[in-house]
Structure 1
Amino acid sequence: MNRLWKEFSKGLWKDLPPFKLVLGLCPVLAVTKTADNGLGMGLAVIFVLTLSNFMISIVRNLIPAKVRIACFIVIVASLVVAVELLMQAFAYPLYQQLGIFVPLIVVNCLILGRAEAFASRNAPLPSIADGLGMGIGFTLSLTFLGALRELLGTGEVFGNQVMGASFEPFSFMVEAPGAFVCLGVLLALMNWMTNLQRRRKGLKAVEGPGHDCASCGACSHGQKA
């Protein structure tokens, strides 16, 4: 149980995907004009990431090493098709707003990274916990960024007016450059908080997000000697 909680909770802060591992930035930048979009995309990623981790963990010993990436993509693509059909049936306006970024979940580096670094090397239960935690952390990040951009850009959050009548919206924030600015500010804030925590523990400060990612294994920083 302790291990399951550890694998689940790391995605909520220690390895928060967009801000600590810096993974899956394409939808983070593209679909977060509103909190609704961020939440919708995040829920789709939770579904795909959790089930793909589970399925890949089950068949990990049956997949030849030379074709493992292709097999991972086939599994993820099948789940993405299921998500598309569900969204078309029950949330069609959201599906239209997210557009091409729903099928692009297939090549989201967060999902493929967890498949390669974790699910293909661990049992089903820890893989489910890892996928669920990473997915929830990703969803919270997208929703927060979308709410921040929506608030500053329109004065609303989830379509509800928050700012008073005298508020002058920063329309820049709901455009593409605004996404980069918000993400950059949040990355700097997360990096500052991480370094502050490390200094309090007497550890050396890291140079930027993604350097404390030994559990990921998706890049050279996470490779073991």
Structure 2
Amino acid sequence: MTALSLGIHISVAALLLGSRHPTQEASGDPAPRLAGDTFELPAPDLRSEPLANASPSPATNAGAPSSPDEADDGALRAAPPVRAPAAAKSSHPSRPSGGHAESPNAGESSAATNTGTLYGAVGDRSATDLAAAFARSFTQTASADRAWERAPLGSAGSATVVLAIDDEGHITDVRVEGAPSPALTSSIQRTMALIKGRTFVAHDKVTRIRLAATITNGAEANDGLSGDRFGLSVHGGKAAFVLPIGRRIQLDVK
């Protein structure tokens, strides 16, 4: 009886223990179902947090300014230079209509020395002032004109030479007004033959040049021209030359 009772107790205990394990497993959370379900996992943060006591690297120190002033200086050096826009240039530089233009720059031997509006071959470096060219050429041609050797001493008369030029600076018309002496008339003609092929500038289309000639003995002059066959002087509206025979011809140009 004792053995039978012990066996019954063991069997009952085994049944109780065997029925308890399935109940505990059934009461747990069911395993997730993978079929048909999706999950979104957050990406891991790979950034490393800087240590509070870590010192900056040399590359960082080299690139960062040590002070606000250095930062401002660096910004100024880095800024590209700003160039001012070039002044607009005319693509068609030409002579104004009618040949009028401002006076050429002072210092050019071929340009008129007076300022103001000019007429004729403005801008042509070979062009000269008409009145000045006439006075200088007159002394050159008249010094070789034998008519002055025969003229009496004293006044050689006066004349007004009227010269017209076109907008290209060429002489288009010549008139002689007044009562010049034969010597003065001859020298005017020689002068025009010398300069007629040149180009000029003037202050108007028509230029009036008044000439008054006086013949004296060269020995009486005190300008260094006496005894010099080719001595010439053109200054301040006056021109002079001396003949080989000693005569001095003074020319006033207005």
TM-score calculated relative to the size of structure 1? 0.29
Between Structure 1 and Structure 2, whose CA radius of gyration is higher?
A: 2
**Which structure is higher in helix share?**
1
TM-score, scaled relative to structure 2: 0.26
